[in-house]
Amino acid sequence: MEQASYQQRRNEVEQYFDRTAFSAWARLTSDAPVSRIRATVRAGRERMRANMLHALGADLTGRRILDAGCGTGAMAIELAQRGADVLAVDLSGQLIELAKERATLVPGKGRILWVSGDMLDARFGQFDHVVAMDSLIHYEAVDMVPALEQLAQRSTQSLHVSFAPSTAMLALMHAVGRCLPRADRAPSIVPLAGERLLRRLSARSAFEHCKLWLGERVNSGFYISQLLNIEQAPLRATPVPGSAPVPGSTTVKSEGGEARHA
């Protein structure tokens, strides 16, 4: 069950992007000219997206992928171009509509289903991979860790997430943001220490058999983000008691229950 703090923060993020930041976000994620500061953010986001795509590989034909917090659709469109079937989800209905418009201009081998909703909705089912680029940067660790746990449980192969690493600049921005009147501020970015986050995740049962590691940290002006990779452990063959395997082979049980050597 979602915590009340997650629900409250989710509602704040939804209202911010739908009512306040839509125009600025649409411009930032386009080819339109922007200020120097926003140009660094644009470049940083492009770099992080490239890192996630590289982790997934060039050929994604037949893969089902959840783009959790898809925004204006850049990641989902590139995934579809690589052959993936993508479920692209975002809280902002306006961003989803803009993403749909942009997707019609770019052909892809795969398919994209655009949905305005909560990325943690269990009704979306299972996926081969989940990507969440900057989708959880507004949540405290107490909410982010359970969210990652839910996303990991729905990915059969891997989960790739970016988060705001704990740096002096981000910590200062976070502190200053808390001092502003609530009505005047955007949902603040919550910086997290990478190694501490790894320890938190490793202590949860959902990650007991997962490989967790930190990828590249992107520093581009006012954009600072760290990649977190979570890889599900491959299923192991079950030894058949009493069988005598051929040296160098692995004994597994076939669907019919008979022993065979691989």
pLDDT of residue 235: 57
- Encoded tokens for 99: 């993403």
Mean per-residue pLDDT over the chain, rounded: 87
Helix (H) or strand (E) holding 155: strand 155-163
- Split at pLDDT 50, 70, 90, the class of 168 is confident
Share of the chain above pLDDT 70, in %: 83
Going by C-alpha positions, the residue among 46, 66, 24 that lies closest to residue 159 is 66
Query: Structure pTM?
Result: 0.85
For 230, residues 6+ apart whose C-beta sits below 8 A from its C-beta are 148, 152, 155, 158, 159, 160, 161, 201, 207, 210, 211, 212
Report the CATH fold assignment for 4-236: Rossmann fold (3.40.50)
pLDDT at 33 over 90: yes
pLDDT of residue 251: 31
Please tell me the number of Cα atoms within 13 Å of 23 on its side-chain side.
2
pLDDT of residue 8: 95
Buried residues in 5-40 as b, exposed as e (16+ CB within 10 A) = ebeebbebbbebbeeebbeebbebbeeeebeeebbb
Q: Give the residue extent of every domain in the chain.
A: 4-236
pLDDT of residue 2: 72
Of 65 and 254, more confident: 65
Query: Residue 8 — φ and ψ, nearest 5°?
Result: -65, -45
Helix (H) or strand (E) holding 178: helix 168-179
Task: Return the DSSP state at 184.
Answer: G
Arithmetic mean of pLDDT, 254-259:
37
Low-confidence winner among 3-12, 68-77, 121-130 (lowest mean pLDDT): 3-12
Arithmetic mean of pLDDT, 153-174:
87
77-127: per-residue pLDDT in tens? 999 999 999 999 999 999 999 999 999 988 889 999 999 999 999 999 999
Arithmetic mean of pLDDT, 224-234:
95
Low-confidence winner among 121-125, 160-164, 186-190, 202-206 (lowest mean pLDDT): 186-190
Write the DSSP assignment of 195-222 as a string of letters. HHHHHHHHTSGGGTTEEEEEEEEEEETT
pLDDT at 62 over 70: yes
- Encoded tokens for 97: 């509509």
Going by C-alpha positions, the residue among 132, 198, 131, 122 that lies closest to residue 153 is 122
